[in-house]
Amino acid sequence: MKYSRLFILLFVILAAPSIKAQESNVPAIYPKLGKNDTIRVAATNDNGVMIPWIGLHEVIINGSRMWKSPQEQAAFNRLRYNVLKVMPYALFAKRRYEQLERDLSSVKEKKEQKKLVKACDAEIKRMFNTEIKELTITQGQILTKLIDREVGRTTYDIVKQTKGGFAAFSYQLVARVVGHNLKTTYNANEERDIESIIVSSGYYQQ
């Protein structure tokens, strides 16, 4: 029985190239075009017949959530407000950090690299002094999670890489005093409410 299965497998493997070659020799049959058929689309060869198709964007359907109590719904609404409040800052941090990495990779001199890091730090500080400092403790905690979600690194790791270990340690001490933790990571399975809010927010729609 084992030998017969092996023989069948070898036959399929050896026959596959010849089958593919036979299919490629079949002349393609294209659909007849009308006078209004002016849009180019992709097509798939189905046994010689060209079938046109158009790719569609992903559609996410979310069911209506059932709340156990008005208090639970109110808590979710507050979470949603806080997530949408800080999400733009997390996305800004992602774009700015990615830009910094691209700039650093194109510069060899450490002096120029320090200038780029300093400029990035100054830009983030300006945003902090004008907007982020007004965030609540809860919003700040959510922001550190979202930065890890977007950048793939904690706020602590980013500071450590760009400004050094001592600066990261100092920032962490200050953050802990006001109830923050720059080492906070993001786990989509544990933060399902936050994840569902982000996914349904429209930030990632093409």
- What tens digit of pLDDT does each residue of 85-140 get? 999 888 888 888 888 888 888 888 888 888 888 888 777 777 766 666 678 888 88
> What predicted TM-score, i.e. pTM, was given to this entire model?
0.61
145 close to 191: Cβ distance less than 8 angstroms: yes
Kindly state whether residue 48 falls inside one of the protein's structural domains: no
Domain that holds residue 178: 70-199
- Let me know if residue 122 belongs to a domain: yes
- Flag whether 28 is in a domain: no
Degrees, nearest 5: CA angle 147-91-168 = 35
Mean pLDDT of 150-174: 76
Residue 75 has a pLDDT of 93
**For 183, phi and psi rounded to 5 degrees?**
-95, 5
Residue 206 is assigned to a structural domain of this protein: no
- Position 11 in a domain: no
Per the CB < 8 A criterion, the answer to whether 87 and 203 are in contact is yes
Instruction: Flag whether pLDDT at 22 surpasses 50.
Output: no
- For the chain, what is the domain count? 1
Residue 60 is predicted with a pLDDT of: 67
> Residue 187: is its pLDDT beyond 80?
yes
Retrieve residue 205's tokens. 């729609």
Rg (CA), the chain: 27
- The verdict on residue 51 lying in a domain is no
For residues 72 and 105, give the distance between their C-alpha atoms in angstroms, rounded to a whole number: 48
Looking at per-residue confidence, does 204 or 153 come out higher?
153
Helices (H), the chain: 2-24, 70-105, 110-130, 137-151, 155-163, 165-177, 192-199
